[in-house]
Amino acid sequence: MLTAQQNVLLTQTGPGTGMGEVFRQYWQPLLLSRELQARGAPKPVKILGEDFVAFRDAQDRVGVIKPRCSHRGANLVLGRNEDAGLRCVYHGWQFDVAGRCIDIPTSEASIAENLKPQAALRALKVEEWCDIIWVHFGDESPDQEPPALPKLDFSALPDDHYFVSKKLQQCNWAQAVEGGIDTAHFSYLHANLQDDQRVGLMPTQGINEPAESGRYRWLIEDSVPQFTILKHDAGLVMCAARKADNEQLYWRLTQFLMPNHSMAPNSFPGDNHQGNTWVPIDDHSCWIFCYIYNPERPLTEQEVDGYASGSGIFANVDENYVPLRNRENNYLQDRDMQQHANFTGITGISEQDAAIADSQGLIADRTAELLGQTDLAIVRFRQMMFAAADAVQAGNAPHGKEHPGSYQVRSGDAMSPRSGVAIDVVTERFGELAGQNLTNF
């Protein structure tokens, strides 16, 4: 439970807000690379409550600049994307990917040269990496070197080992993260139904089956996972242990990376791995970037097709990455399906997650909660975010910012005896990819 003031701090990310200043310290995914074509349509984008226009010039360089022409304030989103940059269609002033004004055709040449520096537009730092356009608000001087990108687990893999996409979430970023790092809800939100009883998402074969199928049964059977939270240089490992067959424990091990990335569980060695980043558009919506990858082999065409059309953490989206089942159409919830087939009456794991987060309101009211032991991951997430806000306010680097190399961590599932201890389980399962300087938190 938070105070009203803490809830505001956690959820607001616009310019000048506490958490907004935290986010502005880190690189953030802005667009999928495939959303911008060279000399193609410029795209209006909003991130952390601020409007920009993004475009790719003829040299394949991406610019993300303030959208209003410095001359008379016409919107550059209407602009013509030319070889050297974006040209305002009102009087032809032109801007390059760094926001520099490179042509002022309404003035004589000598006057224009003097005017250009004043006419420059603020530009975000931009990097493309793993099919994603990343931006950093950073220092506004175009000369300063940007910090390094966070080295997520799949960034070292060949291109065909991973697939990335995104989906719109119609609520505040923080409650969407809190759903993403909350494995406890699997016992209900994602349950199927048979004869009015919850059953697992996938068929199981009963007692003594392999963990690969048994886990879907254990998720249902034990709705009180025991949580242990570990901390490392880039964030947290959330360890949730459920009772499994034969006095064993089934562990789901989730990575949270500051300030808004998660590597999700549900993978034994050999399985595909998955992750998300929740990027605030404004305080009432966010983009969820979705990653799937296999450290050992390329994804198959069939797998990619499945993800692209909305399986698992991927939503079934339209051409603008808006989920087809969304807040406006109540996720096509089917009450008959809810009585007989699955627990929500909503089709799709991603859509079930989206629906429940949206249902908490545009911004969840955390002043009236009753948190228990299964909400420990959420409590620690908030704690780390508040510490980051304190750090930034004190002029210090927030957690993880100075350790981009420590972002290469892995999430997944593990089995242990009933006496297993989280830090040992994690270390044994992931080795160095568990996280650097791992400790209990």
- In the block, tokens 């989906």 appear at 167
* Shortest Å distance, C-beta 301 to its own copies: 31
* Shortest Å distance, C-beta 354 to its own copies: 11
* Shortest Å distance, C-beta 282 to its own copies: 17
* Shortest Å distance, C-beta 88 to its own copies: 8
Q: Which is nearer to its own copies, 176 or 409 (CB)?
A: 176
Residues 434 and 426 sit within 8 Å (Cβ to Cβ): yes
Q: What is the largest CA-CA distance in the chain?
A: 84
Peptide bond into 259 cis (omega under 30): yes
Q: Which is nearer to its own copies, 92 or 306 (CB)?
A: 92
Residue 119's φ and ψ, nearest 5 degrees, are -85, 0
Q: Where are the alpha helices (DSSP H) in 64-210?
A: 109-119, 173-180
Q: Which is nearer to its own copies, 14 or 92 (CB)?
A: 92
Residue 220's φ and ψ, nearest 5 degrees, are -80, -40
Measured CA angle at 361 (ends 355, 364), to 5 deg: 110
Measured CA angle at 384 (ends 370, 176), to 5 deg: 60
Residues 239 and 426 sit within 8 Å (Cβ to Cβ): yes
Residue 54 is inside which H or E element, if any?
A: strand 50-56
Q: Which is nearer to its own copies, 297 or 340 (CB)?
A: 340
Residue 108 to residue 92: CA distance in whole angstroms: 14
* Shortest Å distance, C-beta 63 to its own copies: 17
Q: Which is nearer to its own copies, 217 or 232 (CB)?
A: 217
- What are the beta bridge partners of residue 413? 252
Q: Where are the alpha helices (DSSP H) in 12-140?
A: 18-23, 109-119
Residue 82 to residue 71: CA distance in whole angstroms: 19
* Shortest Å distance, C-beta 272 to its own copies: 26
Q: Which is nearer to its own copies, 364 or 389 (CB)?
A: 364
Q: Which is nearer to its own copies, 323 or 404 (CB)?
A: 323
* Shortest Å distance, C-beta 92 to its own copies: 4
| Residues at the contact surface with its own copies, assessed by CB under 8 A | 39-41, 68, 70-75, 77-78, 80-81, 87-92, 104-108, 111, 115, 118-119, 178, 184-185, 187-189, 223-224, 333, 335, 338-339, 343-345, 352, 355-356, 359-361, 364-366, 368-375
* Shortest Å distance, C-beta 170 to its own copies: 13
Q: Which is nearer to its own copies, 197 or 302 (CB)?
A: 197
